[in-house]
Structure 1
């Protein structure tokens, strides 16, 4: 028996729709990362970007457990000396709610050249509406 190794030209991509309303951040992020990476397919190959497109609606209604609403801190550096900026979960959810899921999924993807194209296939929307009605979108219940 020979092992099957998929090629980038053989990849077929589907569109999935996920509703994040009332879902836990970590649990929904792992499922999104799995779909973006293509691990749900039988043709999964680690060095080939064979994942699918993922649309997330209601990104502002994602929840976290415990005291993470107040205790979870997101850090970023501006590039200047001494300019480490900190924002907690509650403030980031009010200002940029889609950024929470984006950062969570980004941390779960491989840290190599495949991460950027995978992140481009993630589409986040704050409300119930999305702009990808033309694609044949399959709804996933998580």
Structure 2
């Protein structure tokens, strides 16, 4: 018995659109990472980009469970300025209320993918928009109804 390995000519990519309104952040991120990686397909090959394109709309309305949106008890994101003592922190709630609320979802998905060239290619197949409108109508994306897969997916 031989192990199947997909060739670039065998790979067919689909376009999915997911409405993130009132969906739980971590569950949505893990399912999106699975679609981007291609692990939902029977022909999955780890060294090939066989994942699909994912469009996420209404990212600003994603739900954070527990106290993650709270300022003192919440989920913190850290960055460093490069100077001594230059560590900066912000909460997920501040980012969702800020100018670029889609970054919370992008960071969650990015941290679930590989940290190599393949992960960067798969991340380029992700499109996140804070509101409902998106410019990918011509690709005819199919609706991925993530909210009805499990009762816990919705807040």
Classify the TM-score, shorter chain: over 0.9
**Residue of structure 2 equivalent to 1:101:** 105
Structure 2 unpaired stretches of 5+: 147-155
What is the aligned residue count?
142
How far off is 1:82 after superposition?
2.3
Instruction: Specify whether residues 90 and 42 from structure 1 end up closer, same or farther in structure 2 by C-alpha distance, changes over 3 A only.
Output: same
DSSP-derived class of the 2:137 partner:
coil
1:41 equivalent to 2:41? Answer: yes
Summarize the alignment of residues 110-121 of structure 1 with structure 2, pairs less than 5 Å apart.
110-121=114-125
**Residue of structure 1 equivalent to 2:84:** 81
Q: Greater helix percent: which structure?
A: 1
How far off is 1:79 after superposition?
2.7
Q: Deviations over 1:34-72 (max 9, x none)?
A: 000000111101111111100000000001111111111
Question: Counterparts of 1:47 and 1:68 in 2: how far apart (Å)?
Answer: 35
Question: Counterparts of 1:14 and 1:25 in 2: how far apart (Å)?
Answer: 23
**Residue of structure 1 equivalent to 2:150:** none
Task: Provide the alpha-carbon RMSD of the alignment.
Answer: 1.0
Q: Deviations over 1:115-134 (max 9, x none)?
A: 11111110001111111000
Moved beyond 6 Å, runs of 4+: none
1:136 equivalent to 2:140? Answer: yes
Q: TM-score, normalised by structure 1?
A: 0.95
Q: TM-score, normalised by structure 2?
A: 0.88
1:91 equivalent to 2:94? Answer: yes
Structure 1 unpaired stretches of 5+: none
How far off is 1:111 after superposition?
1.8
